[in-house]
Amino acid sequence: MMGADSPSAVRAETAETPEASDRNRTIEALESPESIAAEVSTRIEGFLASKAAEFLTISPDAHDIGRALLDFTRGGKMIRPVLLWWGYQLAAGDDPSRDRMTGGVAEAAGSLELLHAAALIHDDVIDHSDTRRGKPALHRQFESHHAERSYQGGAEPFGIAAAIVVGDICLALSEELFERSQTVLGITPLARDLRATLRRDVMVGQYLDVLAEVVPLEDERIGERAWEVLSYKSAKYSVEQPLLLGAALGGADEEQLAEISKFGFPLGQAFQLRDDVLGIFGDPAATGKPAGDDIREGKRTVLIAESMKNLRPEQVQVMAERLGDPHLSDDEVDECVVMLTESGGLDAVESFIRTKYDEALSVVREWADRGAHADTTRTTIGATAQRQLEGFAKSLSYRTS
Amino acid sequence: MMGADSPSAVRAETAETPEASDRNRTIEALESPESIAAEVSTRIEGFLASKAAEFLTISPDAHDIGRALLDFTRGGKMIRPVLLWWGYQLAAGDDPSRDRMTGGVAEAAGSLELLHAAALIHDDVIDHSDTRRGKPALHRQFESHHAERSYQGGAEPFGIAAAIVVGDICLALSEELFERSQTVLGITPLARDLRATLRRDVMVGQYLDVLAEVVPLEDERIGERAWEVLSYKSAKYSVEQPLLLGAALGGADEEQLAEISKFGFPLGQAFQLRDDVLGIFGDPAATGKPAGDDIREGKRTVLIAESMKNLRPEQVQVMAERLGDPHLSDDEVDECVVMLTESGGLDAVESFIRTKYDEALSVVREWADRGAHADTTRTTIGATAQRQLEGFAKSLSYRTS
């Protein structure tokens, strides 16, 4: 990996964000999600391997930290890195310096994936989740080590303690990888601010989510709360802000960032609304989560809030008793699922998804329609890029896993 | 607080780290710990207040985050900020730009205090600690909110969930405040690296601490482990690295950093060895922790490791059964305390403290002796600064709380 004296670091001294004049052209095609995922995975693995080696110089006992993180970061969907990369491309265009910037963009994208890993590690502790990405959750893995190695004391508290600390380490590594990207790309104050905002929003969103689950179901702010959590914990963090951060790294101005938000935010909302639907109606074989998981976890989603509007008082009472009860039988979960459908909650959410998805698509079409008359610094895309953005938007809004 | 367009930010464009030629002079006096603590507290409070206001724009429900952090960061000992400040002074001397840099140094120092707060919040969750700084631990405070506000679900899991997230937010805010300091002080790659190392060391040290507590007491690596945890979780993080970070921000070169390490590392070891002694022999009224707390928590300190060397097999067995048992009676704790004394463990640790303390003092004397012949870029101090450093070293090594 890159050190302070590497060629990349030296190059960085002359690196500048592309000038507006260089960006004033149509983006014909975006990098493919597969190649971005491959490039970013390679960066993350190299970075984590070098960090794991550092940890070992502190103590041989630090072995499991690196191993756990390497293992945990494999197999993610890489949605945020792809969006960061595309944001960069939309802003930087085919600027001639782009190639030599690729390493920095991959590092910034990898940094988001590590931030996400850190959030998931702590999220699973908070939600008492047993599985993640089809494998035991990180705290469960450490809990297993405890038994395998005949450690003393409680296995579960050990697993939780280790996961809290490893999550903290992962968060710190995310910062460090972002720092490295700035060595290659040059210091970009706007991007640094956006990164701080992204990090803040996902964490505050997570806090609001924790709080929403303990507020009585009949509380009048249930709907507002659900939209707050959806927007900050996910829509902004997962879609809008990765795009914006990439665009800022690529030299976007405020006007272009505002345009990208008009695409990213509604798409992010559609993405999370779909997640809420899958959390209850999804096929466990496809989602990797047990059926009705969100009901046993007590998630207060927009789906729940919409359903509440039309439930009869006795149904509200049943729902209030069951949401968040980890010991519900499958039949009890099924009865809740029926209520969510019959109340019109599911239809309402599907309708929101359609509206948000259409909103995002209309922005993409606007960018494409401008393509032939690219006389501004605004985003303009060619037919291939349009197809890619539309396809990705569809896959986020209408995925099954 | 400072925004992108504030005078401080504008000034920062011309900010440079002091040149070696400016630093080549004797430091007569260091800023007093009291005035540093006051300046840093003001910065932290202002910063947290501005962040709390931001959180409220996301949701009125975010109210408790800012309140909890403001409350938690009050009443700390501010050891790390003082050391960072002094490190800065030792490197920057009375450089004429120092006054306008003060804001940046205060922010960097405040950032360390926020990092420490984040570590303590998670530490208390991990150790199931009920109190911190004489008040309920953060997770216990949120647990109380649960009862007061008639929230649903378990109060304890809610407290833990909230404390995990608020700790994450505190960690993120620490990053953000450090970023701000770089706006004033200028980007200093060496300082950024040192900060990453400091953050890594305390977290990996924390992991090693968690692990050490579950490894059987008879394990042959118990002594090495205790020194690893002591060095990384505390000695480096609490003393050596704050000094180094401050010095790097003040423009120190590698030679000067090495000199400062020779003072800071042994002093940090003495500081933590004293902490281990106080954790078992300290007066609860002074330490704010219950008597024998470290025994019930099962801390595997150097004190424990040294005592183990001379315990009889049946005593080892008693110790192994009792360490980490939160339900021990006061008599059972007392019996352990007697064993730690009679085994010679306490004497051994007091002797280590003396050695490390003397080592640190001898470095201070070297700096003072050079004072009259300040013909190098090495650290040279006057009589007042010498007295301050010696006094602080004594207070770290021989404190009672």
Query: Do the domain assignments include residue A4?
Result: no
Residue A236 is given by DSSP the state I
Residues for chain B: how many in total?
Answer: 401
Q: Give me the phi and psi of A136, to 5 degrees please.
A: -60, 140
pLDDT number for residue B66 = 97
Residue B73 and residue B135: Cα distance in Å, rounded? 12
Is residue B271 located within the same domain as residue B384? Answer: yes
For residue A167, which residues of chain B lie inside 8 Å, CB to CB? 168
Residue A292 and residue A332: Cα distance in Å, rounded? 10
Confidence of residue A7 (pLDDT cuts 50, 70, 90): very low
Check: CB of residue A171 under 8 Å from CB of residue A116: no
For chain A, the straight-line distance linking the first and the last C-alpha, in angstroms and rounded, comes to 34
Q: Is residue A27 classed as helix, strand or coil in its secondary structure?
A: strand
Alpha carbon distances (Å) from A49 to A64, A171, B40: 12, 16, 37
Residue B113 and residue B105: Cα distance in Å, rounded? 13
**Mutating which of B1, B149, B168 best tests the A interface, going by the most A Cβ atoms within 10 A?**
B168
Query: Do the domain assignments include residue A96?
Result: yes
The 3 state secondary structure assigned to B271-338 is HHHHHHHHHHHCCHHHHCCCCCHHHHHCCCCHHHHHHHCCCCHHHHHHHHHHCCCCCCCHHHHHHHHH
Query: Do the domain assignments include residue B378?
Result: yes
pLDDT number for residue B133 = 82
Check CB contact under 8 Å for B206 and A128. Answer: no
Query: Do the domain assignments include residue B80?
Result: yes
Mark residue A151 as left, alpha or beta (left: phi above 0; alpha: psi -120 to 50; beta: remaining): beta
pLDDT for A71 beyond 70: yes
Check CB contact under 8 Å for B214 and A166. Answer: no
Percent of residues, chain A, with pLDDT higher than 70: 91
pLDDT digits (tens, 9 = 90+) for A215-261: 998 889 999 999 999 999 999 999 999 999 999 999 999 999 999 99
- Least CB-CB distance to A232: which of B58, B207, B324? B58
For residue B214, which residues of chain A lie inside 8 Å, CB to CB? 146, 151-153, 158
Which residue in the block uniquely carries the two structure tokens 């502190």? Answer: A58
Residue B156 forms contact with A (CB below 8 Å):
no
Distance from CA of A216 to the nearest CA of B (A): 6
Q: Which structure tokens are listed for B132?
A: 């911190």
Q: Is B247 exposed, middle or buried (0-12, 13-18, 19+ CB in 10 A)?
A: buried
Q: Is A401 exposed, middle or buried (0-12, 13-18, 19+ CB in 10 A)?
A: exposed
CA torsion, ordered A332, A336, A337, A338, to nearest 10 deg:
100
Instruction: Give the residue ranges of DSSP H helices in A282-344.
Output: 284-287, 293-297, 302-308, 313-322, 330-342
CA torsion, ordered A306, A307, A310, A311, to nearest 10 deg:
-150
Query: Do the domain assignments include residue A47?
Result: yes
Alpha carbon distances (Å) from B129 to A142, B136, B234: 21, 9, 18
Residue A53 forms contact with B (CB below 8 Å):
no
Radius of gyration of chain A (CA): 22
Confidence of residue A375 (pLDDT cuts 50, 70, 90): low
Q: Which structure tokens are listed for A143?
A: 């809990």
Query: CB neighbours of A164 closer than 8 A, spacing ≥ 6?
Result: A122, A125, B122, B125, B126, B164
pLDDT number for residue B16 = 47
Query: CB neighbours of A335 closer than 8 A, spacing ≥ 6?
Result: A318
Is residue B167 located within the same domain as residue B77? Answer: yes
Check: CB of residue A229 under 8 Å from CB of residue A208: yes
**Mutating which of B204, B299, B316 best tests the A interface, going by the most A Cβ atoms within 10 A?**
B204
Query: CB neighbours of B15 closer than 8 A, spacing ≥ 6?
Result: B97, B100, B101, B104, B184, B185, B186
Residue B170 and residue B67: Cα distance in Å, rounded? 12
Check CB contact under 8 Å for B172 and A208. Answer: no
**CATH number for the domain including B277?**
1.10.600.10
Alpha carbon distances (Å) from A113 to A364, B206, B236: 25, 24, 29
Percent of residues, chain B, with pLDDT higher than 70: 91
For residue A118, which residues of chain B lie inside 8 Å, CB to CB? 168
For residue B152, which residues of chain A lie inside 8 Å, CB to CB? 214-216, 324
Is residue B97 located within the same domain as residue B173? Answer: yes
Average pLDDT of the residues of chain A: 90
Q: Residue B199: name the closest of B232, B164, B156, B247 by CA.
A: B232
Residue A235 is given by DSSP the state I
pLDDT digits (tens, 9 = 90+) for A16-27: 455 444 445 789
Alpha carbon distances (Å) from A19 to A15, A93, A109, B4: 12, 11, 22, 21
Residue B68 and residue B162: Cα distance in Å, rounded? 11
Confidence of residue A11 (pLDDT cuts 50, 70, 90): very low
Confidence of residue A286 (pLDDT cuts 50, 70, 90): confident
Q: What average pLDDT does the segment A189-210 reach?
A: 96
Check: CB of residue B363 under 8 Å from CB of residue B263: yes
Check: CB of residue A141 under 8 Å from CB of residue A65: no
Query: Do the domain assignments include residue B154?
Result: yes
Q: Which structure tokens are listed for B325?
A: 């048992």
Which residue in the block uniquely carries the two structure tokens 């197999």? Answer: A75
For residue A160, which residues of chain B lie inside 8 Å, CB to CB? 126
Residue B69 forms contact with A (CB below 8 Å):
no
Residue B38 forms contact with A (CB below 8 Å):
no
For residue A221, which residues of chain B lie inside 8 Å, CB to CB? 61
pLDDT digits (tens, 9 = 90+) for A308-352: 999 999 999 999 999 999 899 999 999 999 999 999 999 999 999
B387 or A374, greater pLDDT: B387
Residue B333 and residue B330: Cα distance in Å, rounded? 5
Residue A97 and residue A107: Cα distance in Å, rounded? 16
Q: Give me the phi and psi of B176, to 5 degrees please.
A: -65, -40
| Torsion over CA: A156, B137, A65, B297 (sign) | negative
Q: Which domain holds residue B122?
A: 22-187
Is residue B107 located within the same domain as residue B250? Answer: no
Instruction: Give the residue ranges of DSSP H helices in A186-297.
Output: 189-212, 222-229, 241-249, 254-281, 284-287, 293-297
The 3 state secondary structure assigned to chain B is CCCCCCHHHHHHCCCCCCCHHHHCCCECCCCCHHHHHHHHHHHHHHHHHHHHHHHHHHCHHHHHHHHHHHHHHCCCCCHHHHHHHHHHHHHHCCCCCHHHHHHHHHHHHHHHHHHHHHHHHHHHHHCCCCEECCEECHHHHHHHHHHHCCCCCCHHHHHHHHHHHHHHHHHHHHHHHHHHHHHHHCCCHHHHHHHHHHHHHHHHHHHHHHHHCCCCCCCCCHHHHHHHHHHHHHHHHHHHHHHHHHHHHCCCCHHHHHHHHHHHHHHHHHHHHHHHHHHHHCCHHHHCCCCCHHHHHCCCCHHHHHHHCCCCHHHHHHHHHHCCCCCCCHHHHHHHHHHHHHCCHHHHHHHHHHHHHHHHHHHHHHHHHCHHHCCCCCCCECHHHHHHHHHHHHHHHCCCC
Count contacts between A and B (CB, < 8 Å).
166
Query: Do the domain assignments include residue B177?
Result: yes
Radius of gyration of chain B (CA): 22
Check: CB of residue B29 under 8 Å from CB of residue B385: yes
Q: How many separate domains does chain B show?
A: 2
Percent of residues, chain A, with pLDDT higher than 90: 78
Half-sphere exposure for A64 (CA within 13 Å, toward CB): 20
Query: Do the domain assignments include residue A8?
Result: no
pLDDT number for residue A4 = 38
Is residue B153 located within the same domain as residue B284? Answer: no
Our CA angle for B102, B103, B107, nearest 5°, is: 115
Check CB contact under 8 Å for A215 and B151. Answer: yes
- Below-70 pLDDT ranges, chain B: 1-24, 94-100, 371-377
Is residue B252 located within the same domain as residue B396? Answer: yes
pLDDT number for residue B12 = 38
Q: What average pLDDT does the segment A88-108 reach?
A: 82
pLDDT for A69 beyond 90: yes
Residue A129 and residue A150: Cα distance in Å, rounded? 24
DSSP string of A100-158, one letter each residue: HHHHHHHHHHHHHHHHHHHHHHHHHHHTT--EETTEE-HHHHHHHHHHHTT-SS-HHHH
Q: Give me the phi and psi of B210, to 5 degrees please.
A: -60, -45
